Amino acid sequence: MTAAVASSIAIARRVLTTEAEALGVLAESLGHPFDAAIEALERASGRVVVTGMGKSGHVARKISATLASTGCPSFYVHPAEASHGDLGMVTRDDAVVALSNSGETPELGDIIAYCRRFDIPLIGITSGGDSTLALAATVALVLPNHPEACPNRLAPTTSTTMMLALGDALAITLLERKGFTAADFRLFHPGGQLGRRLLRVSDLMHGGEDLPLAAPAAPMSEVLLVMTKKSLGCAGIVDPDGRLIGIVTDGDLRRHMRGDLLSLSAAEVMSASPKTVPPSLLAAEALGIMNAKAITSLFAVNEAGHPVGVLHVHDCLRAGLA
């Protein structure tokens, strides 16, 4: 390692250590004001409006996006634009979260006054405990006095990291108190890898008229017609009560390939007690089961053992789960 590389790594470690220490101090500093902020956000029947200027504005946008994606309707308002008409986006049912390291950002003046005038809950996140923002806020979340990570102690680094982490803490606390589930999370993340990871078997399976089913006594000539028509490479064998008791796959056909195959019954060819999954199982987990057992199809059954769908490995591949 050259001296230049070593120096660069030392600087990076110093920055990360400084910011990590600040987060530890922030965690220890949380108390009643944080709980009061959560209560205020929960009481708001409208949306959470997040605002900030400069670097604080960039952090505010991310906090708003995190809130919105975790079940708390939210949007960002630029404080300067708020003074030129965008205040009309803020209603009396909303709550406002305003970010300013100093607490004296001039552009926040109108939105602070607007919140005071119409009794809109205002959560201030600032390092200035005696600042205009802190004193005007319904609840002030004051950041600990911790040095910025730059050598001049000027560039917003530690302060913005604490703001961002505090925003995450607000969002996740609200998420857990609302009982927000993975299924709810997927509702707001239908695209991308995250959405694919949260797909359920029920989202991809073939059900209803597409289910390939046959009775145990059905001759294989009929079962083959069912398998061909449904094009899933298998047929589920159900008893008179509609419970899945077996499966006939392409592999079963090859194992019984002989002259009288078509005259055999489904019960004579099927693999009994096939592996099944509930429709609520994550599709990625179902794909893992198929890979582990070297099979290409899985029947989804309800609590009574009745088949409600069939998932094929190709469905998972088309959904981008592989």
* CATH code of the domain containing 247: 3.10.580.10
In-domain check, residue 256: yes
| Element counts in the chain: helices (H) and strands (E) | 15, 12
- Is the pLDDT at 212 greater than 90, yes or no? yes
Closest residue by Cα to residue 141 from 26, 34, 19: 34
Do 215 and 142 belong together in one domain? Answer: no
In-domain check, residue 225: yes
pLDDT digits (tens, 9 = 90+) for 20-37: 999 999 999 999 999 999
312 is known to lie in a ligand binding site: no
Q: Give the domain extent around 97.
A: 8-180
Do 232 and 162 belong together in one domain? Answer: no
Look at the chain and report how many structural domains it folds into: 2
Do 27 and 105 belong together in one domain? Answer: yes
Give the pLDDT band of residue 60 (cuts 50, 70, 90).
very high
Do 94 and 210 belong together in one domain? Answer: no
In-domain check, residue 150: yes
For strands 276-277 and 234-238, give the pairing: unpaired
Alpha-carbon distance of 318 to 226, in angstroms, equals: 24
Alpha-carbon distance of 272 to 226, in angstroms, equals: 18
Alpha-carbon distance of 289 to 297, in angstroms, equals: 10
In-domain check, residue 141: yes
pLDDT digits (tens, 9 = 90+) for 290-320: 999 999 899 999 999 999 999 999 888 888 8
Mean pLDDT in residue range 162-173 = 96
Do 168 and 206 belong together in one domain? Answer: no
- Is the pLDDT at 258 greater than 70, yes or no? yes
User: What percentage of the chain reaches a pLDDT higher than 70?
Assistant: 93
At residue 151, the pLDDT reads 84
48 Cβ neighbours under 8 A, 6+ residues apart = 41, 64, 67, 72, 73, 74, 94, 95, 96, 97
In-domain check, residue 170: yes
In-domain check, residue 1: no
In-domain check, residue 193: no
Edge-first strand listing for the sheet containing 74-76:
74-76, 48-52, 95-99, 122-126, 139-142
CATH number for the domain that contains residue 174: 3.40.50.10490
Least confident among 2-11, 44-53, 162-171, 235-244: 2-11
- For the chain, the average pLDDT equals 91
Do 158 and 66 belong together in one domain? Answer: yes
Do 72 and 124 belong together in one domain? Answer: yes
Do 163 and 276 belong together in one domain? Answer: no
Residue 18: count of CB within 10 angstroms of its CB: 17
98 Cβ neighbours under 8 A, 6+ residues apart = 50, 51, 52, 79, 108, 111, 112, 122, 123, 124, 125, 133, 137
The C-alpha angle 182, 185, 190, rounded to 5 degrees, equals 115
- DSSP letter assigned to residue 111: H
pLDDT digits (tens, 9 = 90+) for 68-98: 988 889 999 999 999 998 999 999 999 999 9
Residue 291: count of CB within 10 angstroms of its CB: 12
Do 48 and 82 belong together in one domain? Answer: yes
Query: What is this structure's pTM?
Result: 0.65
